[in-house]
Amino acid sequence: MAMNETQKAKVAALRTEMRKLDPETYQEIRQSYYKIAEELRPLVDALEKADAELGPDGPLLEEHYIFCEMLDRLNKSLLGGVV
């Protein structure tokens, strides 16, 4: 999805701040971001599948919703456009 001007400005500001970090901190943020990005979708999918197998309204359904919200928030983050 294309970014609007406000998002572009926020990415530019974020990029400027990230460049101020020492390389080790920047790399730690980058690696942690990508670990989360790689593993969150499979976790959401696995919770959905497990909940479907165990039946509706179980405790996994609530966990699935929590991690769906996390995935949604990650997708809204602009950090991925910087690191």
d(CA 63, CA 83): 28
pLDDT at residue 55, rounded to an integer: 81
Residue pLDDT tens, the chain, 83 long? 688 999 999 999 999 999 999 999 999 999 999 999 999 999 999 999 999 998 877 889 999 999 999 999 999 999 998 99
Q: Where are the alpha helices (DSSP H) in the chain?
A: 5-19, 23-54, 59-76
pLDDT at residue 57, rounded to an integer: 78
d(CA 18, CA 21): 5
